[in-house]
Structure 1
Amino acid sequence: MESKASAPGKAILFGEHAVVFGQPALAFAVDKRAYVSLKKSSGKKSTIKSTDLNFEASFDLSRGIDILKNQKKGIVNYILGALSLGHDGSPLEIELSMEMPVGAGMGSSAAVTVATLAAAYNLHHKNIDISNLAKKAHEVELMVQGAASPLDTAVSTNGGLVYLDENSEISSHQAYLDNSLILGYTSYRGNTGEMVDSVRKRRERFPQIMDPVIESVGNITRQALKLLSQDNLDKEYLGELMNINQGLLDSMGVNTPELSRMIFNARKYGALGSKITGAGGGGSIIAFCPGKLEEVLHILQKTDSAINADFSKEGVLIHHK
């Protein structure tokens, strides 16, 4: 029997870094997905293969990775973690395909984790409860990373627009963002842990300055949620909130010349708003450019990588043959 599932990546619209200090965050599912296929194997060990990421691995769940070609240990660890919670340990043939770049702030690890868990539950004919699946996927991320927000796995599981409030409670919302968003990403991937630590240290050095900055990001996020919930979205207002948020991220010290170049090129060629998405220090920007999608995409692709990050209402899916 073969079981196949997929889950979307994500992009943070508002709230990165401030969320670490108890402020809300707002993210959405991107129509780029991770696909995981599980098939029972007659061999003694399980194998993982990904043509997209150009790696192969073999393992025994009780002992961990045995052979790994092309050093994709991070992604493999999420798959192993998910299987430890959703599979009985018997040998599997696993195939992974990705429509999103790894390490670009698009929640690739969460998408792979959610898809693997869903495929494992389906393989064993277990009921897939969305809230439980998100919870278990977050447990895997904690297991692998040591610390993780529940936001990424909630977005990959639920799809759509997801709000993480001050009490770490998750809620899903409608949004009207179709055909208006671009993700640009650099070849250099920032280190999330290092960026979070640098912001924390800056806050410790300058609490009277940085606390209002962090609180302002939280207020922007709350305002953006109200705005996005309206049928008649004020697009210029949303873009302005993104640009203000970017100024505050700059003050946190997480920008780079490469990210800044993409941010200002996007605005120059028609984006109403553009900002870092994710931890910064490298990685990705998001640009809101209704009516100017092709122009902005073209200019960003001249110097960096960029994709149309269309809004996905669908979360995790089981694919039946």
Structure 2
Amino acid sequence: MESVASAPGKTILFGEHSVVYSEPAIAGAVNKRATVKIRRSRNQNTILKSKDLNFEAILDTRKESYSLKHGKPGIIRYILNALSKFHDHTPIEILLSINIPIGSGLGSSAAVTVATLAALFDYHDIPFTKESLAQDAYNVELDVQGMASPLDTIVSTYGGLIYLSREKKPISFTNHINSNFVIGFTTKYGNTGKMVKNVKNLKDAYPNIINPIIEDMGFIANEARIAILKNDISKVGELMNINQGLLDSLGVNTSELSRMIYLARKNGALGSKITGSGGGGSIIALCPHNPDKVMKAINRYDNTLKIKFSKDGVLTKDSI
């Protein structure tokens, strides 16, 4: 028996960090995915392998521990937590393939978590809905990171371009932004849990200063929602730039991210900002006319990829 599921990465347009405090946000699924295949193990061990990430580990799902044969352990924690919650601890083999850069702010952990749970539920014939899957995946991320937003797992589950309301209700846009986007990412990975904690500490230390900043980010997301519905690309870019200034004030920027942000604008991007938690990882640039010029400029120092929004969310074996 073999079960397969895949889920997309995501990019946040508006709402990083503020969404943790129930402010609205806008994010979209991208055409980069994680695929998880689960089958019975050929021996008495539960094994996790990924050629794309060059790692292999033996997992103990009862003790929620692992023995790493080679590779870096980061993403294993999400898979292991999911297995500890929903697997019956029989030996299985888990194969992970992924074309989302790890730690780049493109929701690799959420995509892996959603795909793992969907494949696991299929393997055990456990019924689920998209709503329950997104919630279960969010609980995994919450356990691993300590603090987390439901936005990543919602987007990876549902796909498309989504507005998340203050009540955490996902609302799909009926239209997409008809433009090219460039993702720039560094070799310095961000740590979502650490960055979320740092912002919380800053908020606790200076509530009269930081609370209005977080609230303003919510206002920006609402303005951006109206602009997207009107297909006002120029305004979306302008709001991205304003949002970046607020992210700067939260201390989540780095010199590498800042370099990419300003190189993108200098070479024609209408807007550019951090996407994800910051501290490393990625920026997103709105490039309706000259994405190749922006990519060339950023590639002198860092890495880029061109993305498109994807309507597809989680897919199981029958739909892949």
TM-score range, shorter chain: over 0.9
Q: Residues 66-97 of structure 1: CA distance to partner in whole angstroms, max 9, x if unpaired? A: 42123533311211222234432221111101
Change (3 A) 1:46 1:229: same
Tell me the amino acid that sits aligned with residue 273 of structure 1. Answer: G
Tell me the amino acid that sits aligned with residue 144 of structure 2. Answer: V
SS, match of residue 101 in structure 2: coil
Q: 1:57·1:65 contact (CA, 8 Å) conserved in 2?
A: no
Q: 1:202·1:252 contact (CA, 8 Å) conserved in 2?
A: yes
Which runs of 5 or more structure 2 residues have no equivalent in the other structure?
none
Say which is worse superposed, 20-29 or 198-207, in terms of deviation.
Answer: 198-207
Partner in structure 2 of residue 276 of structure 1: 274
Query: Does 2:236 match 1:238?
Result: yes
Partner in structure 2 of residue 173 of structure 1: 173
Partner in structure 1 of residue 76 of structure 2: 76
Partners of 2:205 and 2:80 lie apart in 1 by 40
Tell me the amino acid that sits aligned with residue 37 of structure 1. Answer: K
Change (3 A) 1:316 1:178: farther
Say which is worse superposed, 64-73 or 284-293, in terms of deviation.
Answer: 64-73
Q: 1:277·1:286 contact (CA, 8 Å) conserved in 2?
A: yes
Q: 1:3 offset after TM fit, Å?
A: 1.2
Q: 1:283 offset after TM fit, Å?
A: 1.4
Partner in structure 1 of residue 222 of structure 2: 222
Q: 1:190 offset after TM fit, Å?
A: 2.8
Partner in structure 1 of residue 285 of structure 2: 287
Matches within 5 A, 1:13-28: 13-28=13-28
Matches within 5 A, 1:85-164: 85-164=85-164
Using structure 1 for the length normalisation, give the TM-score. 0.92
Percent identity for Structure 1 against Structure 2: 52
The alignment yields a C-alpha RMSD, in angstroms, of 1.9
Partners of 1:167 and 1:138 lie apart in 2 by 16
Q: 1:245 offset after TM fit, Å?
A: 0.8
Q: 2:177·2:233 contact (CA, 8 Å) conserved in 1?
A: no
Partners of 1:175 and 1:274 lie apart in 2 by 21
Partner in structure 2 of residue 258 of structure 1: 256
Q: 1:306 offset after TM fit, Å?
A: 1.0
Partner in structure 2 of residue 188 of structure 1: 188
Using structure 2 for the length normalisation, give the TM-score. 0.93
Q: 1:22 offset after TM fit, Å?
A: 3.0
Q: 1:137 offset after TM fit, Å?
A: 0.9
Partner in structure 1 of residue 296 of structure 2: 298
Q: 1:118·1:133 contact (CA, 8 Å) conserved in 2?
A: yes
Q: Residues 159-208 of structure 1: CA distance to partner in whole angstroms, max 9, x if unpaired? A: 11222222333332234225511111111123334433443444445444
- How many residues were matched structurally? 319
